[in-house]
Amino acid sequence: MNKPLRKVSVFCLILVAALMLRSNWVQVVKADDYADHPQNRRAVYEEYSHPRGDFLVDNKPITGSEKTDSKKFEYQRTYTNGPMYAPVTGFKSQFFGSNLLENIEDDILNGDDDRLFVRRVIDVITGKDRRGGNVELTINAAAQEAAFKGLNGKTGAAVAIDPATGKVLTMVSTPSYDPSLLAVNDNAAQSEAWKTLNEDPAKPMDNRAIRYTYAPGSTFKLITAAAALSSGKYKPDEATKFDSPIRYPNSNQSLTDHPGVANCKGATLERALEISCNTVFAGVATDLGDEAIKAQAEKFGFNDFGKYDFTKGGADTKNNLDIPARVNASLYPENEDDAQVMRAAIGQQSVRATPLHMAMVVAAIANNGKVMQPSLVNALRSQSLDTIESFQEKQISEAVSPEVAKQLQDMMVGVVTEGSCPSAKIDGVKVGGKTGTAQRGVNNSSPPYAWFVSFAEVDGKKVAVAVVVEDQGADVERDDISGCAAAAPTAVGIMKAVLGK
């Protein structure tokens, strides 16, 4: 071979090697990146070429996949009672992606999960159409419906938890939206729905149950009471030493009790919780100190579970709370002086909590002090409904001792039988509760948040509930807004549904 021909041959070999190297780089090294790229429409078309798996509630599907006439999107996602379940399932859209469990459990639902490989192979061999797996939820259908109807026309959220296991039985956020609007096989219709939903000042796509943090108001007195009892310095039935009103340190202003609350001066802890005395719990907090209240709050998960900065797109702590949807942090910041401590102890100042977290607090009290990991997913199932992964109970911490938990349970029962919310009684059922009315706005100018947290027990079966209502509307006078009047009826409906009452 002459020299020029040899040079050309070597050059061609180099080109072939470079081509092979590039092909392998694209097909092997970068394959997953290209396959998952948001601009890769082929991957989207392939995903919609077969039926998507379903979410199951009480072993019945609440979603579906409908055959279409489109050549690109052969199947369309459908939702049963979409607005009622939207805060749990989220949406699945051909053009706007997905969120919540539709996004988190996507590999199972679209059939790509490695644990479904054998099923996919069998389907190919037998000629069956490919189908995604299924996600069995922990949601109780009757309780979810009771919560959704109870909050109809209101802005707020409700969460119910099985105290013994942490299973989330109810998660509702209102106002809500229909995910079907973002699943129609029409780009223009989806775009219009997306714009309308995102421009709605009521924020129907926001999940208030896990993404909104509110001042918990007097429901936080449960945590202050837990700190008092755990310290050994206080007993439920012993008189306290605090005045009503009680003066803020180094100030000519005082913290008062609600005009309708009598006999808070020197009240016992149990009586103070029953009628919601601000002064007693503010006095307890200044006596124990801010560190003690903060430490007790953190045992219930404040300042720890759920730390997540959505603006940065990632978590920077090992203690995030996932259910498996991400839950925003509940916060008890440090307080610089006793006046701030007094207000923090009654759920004001800078204290913030999600409805889910307040349900966890009550669940821990009802579960003899044990804080359980919450979950919305009971099991992952194959296309043939075989179980591939089951929910596993997990204790996160012990917030209080069993003895203190029992004292708190009895005190909460007193709120219903002798205190501020007798309307929460359920015949034949042990019910404990705590009302809350949290101030908001400059100089308390906005309608307060109305809270009711509770537990119910009958025949060994328990449920813990938290309900918050943001706004009762202009036709309701401020003095008529209370946790018992605005939030407790929804909580009672949920408890009855879970317990079969």
pLDDT tens digits for range 209-236: 999 999 999 999 999 999 999 999 999 9
Q: What is the pLDDT of residues 309-360, one digit of tens each?
A: 433 334 444 456 899 999 999 999 999 899 999 999 999 999 999 999 999 9
Residue 5 has pLDDT above 80, yes or no: no
Identify the band that residue 480 occupies on the pLDDT scale cut at 50, 70 and 90: very low
Residue 442 has pLDDT above 60, yes or no: no
Residue 190 has pLDDT above 80, yes or no: yes
* C-alpha dihedral (470, 475, 478, 484), degrees to nearest 10: -60
Q: What is the rounded radius of gyration, in angstroms, for the C-alpha atoms of the chain?
A: 27
What does the block give as tokens for 302? 């404040």
Mean pLDDT score across all residues of the chain: 89
CA gap 499, 90 in Å, rounded: 27
User: How confident is the model at residue 49, as a pLDDT?
Assistant: 82
Map residue 85 onto helix, strand or coil: helix
Q: Percent of the chain scored above 70 by pLDDT?
A: 87
The whole-number average pLDDT for the span 23-31 is 65
Identify the band that residue 149 occupies on the pLDDT scale cut at 50, 70 and 90: very high
The Cα-based distances of 18 to 34, 302, 495 in angstroms read 20, 57, 68
Identify the band that residue 479 occupies on the pLDDT scale cut at 50, 70 and 90: very low
- Interaxial angle between packed helices 290-299 and 278-288, expressed in degrees from 0 to 180 and rounded to the nearest 10: 100
Closest CA to 404 of 227, 255, 209, 265: 227
What does the block give as tokens for 212? 């909104």
Residue 73 has a CB neighbour count (10 Å cut-off) of 19
User: pTM above 0.85?
Assistant: yes
What are the residue ranges spanned by the domains of the chain?
A: 215-380+397-499
| Mean pLDDT lowest among 19-28, 195-204, 241-250, 411-420 | 19-28
User: How confident is the model at residue 268, as a pLDDT?
Assistant: 97
Closest CA to 491 of 81, 149, 58: 149
| Mean pLDDT lowest among 71-75, 128-132, 157-161 | 128-132
Topology of domain 215-380+397-499 in CATH is Beta-lactamase (3.40.710)
Residue 10 has pLDDT above 80, yes or no: no
Q: What is the DSSP string of 170-199?
A: EEEEES---GGGGTSS-HHHHHHHHHHHHH
For 447, phi and psi rounded to 5 degrees? -55, 135
Q: What is the pLDDT of residues 363-397, one digit of tens each?
A: 999 999 999 999 999 999 988 888 999 999 999 99
Residue 459 has pLDDT above 90, yes or no: yes
Q: Which residues are known to be catalytic?
A: 218
CA gap 298, 201 in Å, rounded: 34
CA gap 215, 348 in Å, rounded: 6
Q: What is the DSSP string of 385-443?
A: --EEEE----EEEE-S-HHHHHHHHHHHHHHHHTSS-GGG--TTSEEEEEEEEEEESGG
User: How confident is the model at residue 309, as a pLDDT?
Assistant: 41
> What stretch of H or E contains 68?
none
User: How confident is the model at residue 173, as a pLDDT?
Assistant: 98
For 413, phi and psi rounded to 5 degrees? -60, -40
For 282, phi and psi rounded to 5 degrees? -65, -40
Q: What is the pLDDT of residues 85-118, one digit of tens each?
A: 999 999 999 999 999 999 999 999 999 888 887 7
The Cα-based distances of 24 to 14, 21, 183 in angstroms read 15, 5, 37
Residue 440 has pLDDT above 70, yes or no: no
Is 328 buried (19+), middle (13-18) or exposed (0-12) by CB count in 10 A? buried
